[in-house]
Amino acid sequence: MFNLEKEFVGKKENIPTILDFIIAFAKEHAFPESFTNKILIVGDELFSNIIKYGYEDNGGPITVKLSFNEEISEFILTIIDSAKEFNQLAVNNEINGLRIGGLGIFIVKQIMAECSYKRENNQNILSLKKSL
């Protein structure tokens, strides 16, 4: 199991830096480009939501944990923030009458095999899994 963790300042202008962190991890573990691109879509959506809705564009810490279990070819993305309680996964995302705000989360749920949220120690913790 390979693990990497880094804390970032949750500001819109820092999203490319956060995504570069994910790209470097993906390259190090030779993830297929199509897999990496899907993870970047997920990351961009989730980080944007945390910054805009959780931190209300005021910034705050975002910890990104990346894990890869080579034995079962499973990638895990864990995102931890200290913003107000905000479960992105609870956004209404039904196909019929889909609201603009729910499309990104719908896509995240379609890309990732497992998505979970918990609130612990005044932190939002999103965990997402996908096999290569």
Per-residue model confidence (pLDDT) at position 76: 98
In the numeric block, which tokens belong to residue 46? 């989730």
Which pTM value belongs to this model?
Answer: 0.91
Residue 40, helix vs strand vs coil:
helix
Cα–Cα distance between 105 and 93 in angstroms, integer?
7
- The domain total for the chain is 1
Q: For 13-38, what is each residue's pLDDT tens digit? A: 999 999 999 999 999 999 999 999 99
Q: What is the CATH number of the domain that holds 72?
A: 3.30.565.10
Q: For 33-89, what is each residue's pLDDT tens digit? A: 999 999 999 999 999 999 999 999 999 999 999 999 999 999 999 999 999 998 988
Confidence of residue 127 (pLDDT cuts 50, 70, 90): very high
The residue range of the domain holding 32 is 2-131
Q: For 102-112, what is each residue's pLDDT tens digit? A: 678 889 999 99
Residue whose C-alpha is closest to residue 62's, from 19, 97, 99: 19
Cα dihedral 111, 72, 16, 37, rounded to 10, equals -50
Q: In this structure, which long-range contacts are made by residues 95-99, counting pairs with CB atoms below 8 Å and at least 24 apart in sequence?
A: none
Contact in structure between 131 and 67 (CB atoms under 8 Å): no
Per-residue model confidence (pLDDT) at position 90: 86
Higher pLDDT, 88 or 101: 88
Partners of 126 in the β-ladder? 79, 117
